[in-house]
Amino acid sequence: MSQFLETIQIINGQWQNIEWHNRRFNKTRLIHFGIKQPLEIQNIITIPDTFKAGEVKCRLSYDREPGLAEFSDYSFKAVASLKIIHDDAIDYRFKDADRNRINLLHGKRGNCDDIIIIKNGCVSDSSYSNLVFSDGKDFFTPDSPLLPGTKREKYLSEGIIKTLNIKEADIRTFKEVHLINAFLDLGRCVVKVTDIH
């Protein structure tokens, strides 16, 4: 079974944010398997004709070499509330196919839609997204994410968001939090701080 994943957005047959997916894909292969020769996902995976319209998810599994690429239509799921969950031992620095620990934490969300994972007193991520907090003017992402996501890296490189050490007690100093990932741009999935429990 492949150890790692890249989950990539495709819109009307066009790969989105592919530069950043390629960077993470090749970095993971270098660190874990010592493979120095980079590959470009868009050159090794063909988008099927049946998935060249609309918003599509490509789930690429891999280890030393690219494995199975699965395509499906993407369905947006709104998140309106978040539950704070603590786990000081969780480690998800790479996009691992094994999400058992994250799934266990997600199962503790109660009536909320998703979770905010606090590690060693610091805000990290939700179960599927990086977090970006807004005070109504500026955007800040925790400097201690579980997984530095591709959209997060893109926004940081463009200066749209800034990193900040955000403790659990700091959450209430913001107005809202944006969930971002390969499919979620800033503003697409926003939760008011008052809906964090």
* Per-residue pLDDT at 51: 98
Q: What is the pLDDT of residues 58-102, one digit of tens each?
A: 999 999 999 999 999 999 999 999 999 999 999 999 999 999 999
* Per-residue pLDDT at 9: 98
Whether domain 82-195 has CATH 3.20.10.10: yes
- pLDDT of residue 11 exceeding 80, the answer is yes
* Per-residue pLDDT at 180: 98
Token digits for 5? 């994943």
Q: Where in the chain do CATH 3.30.470.10 domains reside?
A: 4-73
* Per-residue pLDDT at 89: 96
* Per-residue pLDDT at 119: 98
Angle between helices 18-33 and 150-157 in degrees, nearest 10 = 120
Rg (CA), the chain: 17
Q: Which residues contact 197 (CB under 8 A, 6 or more apart)?
A: 81, 82, 83, 84, 110, 112
- pLDDT of residue 37 exceeding 90, the answer is yes
Host H or E run for residue 178? strand 176-180
* Per-residue pLDDT at 120: 97
Q: How far apart are CA 117 and CA 135, in angstroms?
A: 20
Q: How confident is the model at residue 106 (pLDDT cuts 50, 70, 90)?
A: very high
Q: What is the pLDDT of residues 146-161, one digit of tens each?
A: 999 999 999 999 999 9
Q: What is the pLDDT of the chain when averaged over all its residues?
A: 97
Q: Where in the chain do CATH 3.20.10.10 domains reside?
A: 82-195
Residue 12 per-residue DSSP state: T
* Per-residue pLDDT at 25: 97
Q: How confident is the model at residue 2 (pLDDT cuts 50, 70, 90)?
A: low
Whether domain 4-73 has CATH 3.40.50.920: no
